[in-house]
Amino acid sequence: MKSVIIVGGGLVGALHACFMAQRGFKVDLYEMRPDIRTLEVVRGRSINLSLSARGREALRRVGLEDIVVQTGIPMYARMIHDVDGTRRPIPYGKKDQYIMSVDRRHLNEVLLTEAEKVPNVTMHFEHKVMECDFDKGTVSFRKNDGSVVTATADLIVGCDGAFSGVRQQIMKKTLFDYEQVFIPHGYMELNMPPAAGDHFAMEVNYLHIWARNEFMMIALPNQDKTYTCTLFMPFDIFRTLTTKEAVRKFFQDTFPDSIPLLGEEYVTETVSTSKALPLISVKCSPYHVKDKAVILGDAAHAMVPFYGQGMNCGFEDCIVFDDLLNKHNNDIGATLAEYTETRSVDAKAIVDLALYNYIEMRESVNSRMFLLRKKLDNFLYWLFPNTWVPLYTSVSFSRIRYHQCIKNKQWQDRVLRRAMYVGVSGLLAVGYCALTRPQYFRLSLPVQLEDFVNRVRPSWLERICF
Ligand code: FAD
């Protein structure tokens, strides 16, 4: 039986353990934190996440889609909150297409429990990775009591997140390209309680967005009828909100309709005393070392959360990896080489798209041109469902490779640009003809305009028109 050490028992590590265990590998999963299933409070990143097609497909493959989806809340559209309190929905796709708000902790617990059901899986909590030897296939971990243990396996998989220890080890030992960016914006989470009578305080099946161009707040619904709101803003603005009065004024000016829903005292107290958290974007390559180690999930491609794809992409990593193991008949060396080659192109594409989508979410949704384009895209998608797949649809509701999603969008932009040039040129030509040959169009022009047109009439346009 081949053996694998998985470092990190977060979302991707726990899912990867399910995949590898179900394939018959002996799995040892090492996680730095205590077992979250035993904790009352779990500190960390976002409380809920949006799950879409790629993530669902991965859960389906390990038999967990239904369990997770049952506890999630579908979101069919964005609900834009304007400053004057107007709310307007912008659908994500067709009527039956939706993303799901799921609870991070619940999802992580379900995955850990599922992995543990397979007898060839052992979990080791409170083990922090210290050092890897990629020639021998060993990893040393420091336990909470300070002691160090060393484990050996055929394959080491780093699923230990954006600040991956395994990645740091790879970086020391191979030719490794690495790029990390902290964007100048941070985030802060707020909890919106249920309204009186234990109802959701806002329309439930939406991802609510307060888009204010330079910054934004979003809210995703939870099963307990609360919303988790996340404020994304430049640190420069967060730094000005250190008193309750400053926060009150800021919310009254920018998100007035959210104040009664969140509670004025709660907002002013929380925002003035909490620290905004940073957002990091990571691109690197290669993802593997010889036939011994590989990194998946945020360890390989942390991204800003604006496309809701970080986890979905990490889950899709597990599918891609599994398919390659099938293709190469469990040959680890061949799998790892092809994995880096194919997956890095797509991971880099979604890291870029995630940055782009921040502008779309906080700014473009306020633009008429953007809304018009969305309508046109949806119409063309309806007309040519296999040819004209809008960008958001291809990213969130399909498994079209991420880099192909970008290529499709670029092609669509080119087609529309050309159609616009042709349309505008046609209109100009018709206008010109109407002015120079008004009799064909049953127009009666004022004498001065007729004189002017005759004087400026260019010969080339004359040849085209008549
Ligand atoms: P992590 O979830 O970070 O898990 C890594 C695990 O490794 C942790 O358990 C950690 O304790 C452990 N670990 C770390 N270092 C060590 C070590 N040295 N030794 C041992 N163990 C270690 N994605 C979506 O798809 N949809 C969303 O809506 C979405 N919203 C988001 C909102 C916010 C505000 C943020 C910040 C992210 C969001 N994401 C979203 C991204 C998503 O959270 C990540 O992509 C996802 O958690 C990655 O999973 P992972 O398992 O790779 O890493």
> What does the domain layout of the chain look like in residue ranges?
3-74+98-181+279-358, 184-278, 367-466
Residue 456 pLDDT > 70:
no
Give the pLDDT of residue 448.
67
Residue from 298, 316, 343 to probe ligand 1 pocket by mutation (most atoms less than 8 Å from CB): 298
Residue 244 pLDDT > 80:
yes
323: number of Cβ within 10 Å: 15
387: number of Cβ within 10 Å: 11
33 within ligand 1 shell (Cβ under 6 A) = yes
Give the pLDDT of residue 371.
87
Length of the chain: 466
- Residue with CA at minimum distance from ligand 1 atom 26: 308
Q: In the predicted model, what is the mean pLDDT of residues 300-308? A: 96
SS3 at position 349? helix
- Give per-residue pLDDT as tens, 2-56: 999 999 999 999 999 999 999 999 999 999 999 999 998 877 667 899 999 999 9
- The ipTM, to two decimals, is 0.99
Which residues contact residue 37 at a Cβ distance below 8 angstroms, ignoring those fewer than 6 apart?
109, 112, 113
207 within ligand 1 shell (Cβ under 6 A) = no
**Residue 41 contacts residue 194 (beta carbons within 8 Å):** no
298 within ligand 1 shell (Cβ under 6 A) = yes
Q: In the predicted model, what is the mean pLDDT of residues 278-285? A: 97
186 within ligand 1 shell (Cβ under 6 A) = no
358 band by pLDDT with thresholds 50, 70 and 90: confident
Residue 179 pLDDT > 80:
yes
- Give per-residue pLDDT as tens, 368-412: 888 888 899 999 999 999 999 999 999 999 999 999 999 999 999
Q: In the predicted model, what is the mean pLDDT of residues 287-302? A: 97
Distance, in Å, from the CA atom of 324 to the CA atom of 194, rounded to the nearest integer, reads 46
462 band by pLDDT with thresholds 50, 70 and 90: low
Ramachandran category for residue 369: left, alpha or beta (phi over 0 → left; psi -120 to 50 → alpha): alpha
The DSSP-derived string for 309-341 is -HHHHHHHHHHHHHHHHHHTTT-HHHHHHHHHH
Query: Among all chains, which residue has been given the structure tokens 């011994």?
Result: 292
Residue 101 pLDDT > 60:
yes
309 within ligand 1 shell (Cβ under 6 A) = yes
Cα–ligand 1 centroid distance for 295 (angstroms): 13
Atom of ligand 1 lying closest to residue 309 CA:
25
Q: In the predicted model, what is the mean pLDDT of residues 204-215? A: 95
Q: Considering the chain, what is the average pLDDT of its residues?
A: 93
165 within ligand 1 shell (Cβ under 6 A) = yes
Q: In the predicted model, what is the mean pLDDT of residues 440-454? A: 69
458 band by pLDDT with thresholds 50, 70 and 90: low
Residue 303 pLDDT > 80:
yes
Atom of ligand 1 lying closest to residue 33 CA:
11
101 within ligand 1 shell (Cβ under 6 A) = no
- Report the share of the chain in percent with pLDDT over 70: 94
Residue 466 pLDDT > 60:
no
286 within ligand 1 shell (Cβ under 6 A) = no
Atom of ligand 1 lying closest to residue 165 CA:
18
Find the farthest-apart pair of alpha carbons in the chain and give their distance in angstroms, rounded: 98
**Residue 303 contacts residue 297 (beta carbons within 8 Å):** no
* β pairing state of 99-103 and 48-51: antiparallel
DSSP conformational letter for 305: G
Q: Candidates 3.40.50.740, 3.20.20.450, 3.30.2350.10, 3.50.50.60; correct CATH number of 3-74+98-181+279-358?
A: 3.50.50.60
Query: Among all chains, which residue has been given the structure tokens 């925002």?
Result: 271
Give the pLDDT of residue 426.
82
361 band by pLDDT with thresholds 50, 70 and 90: confident
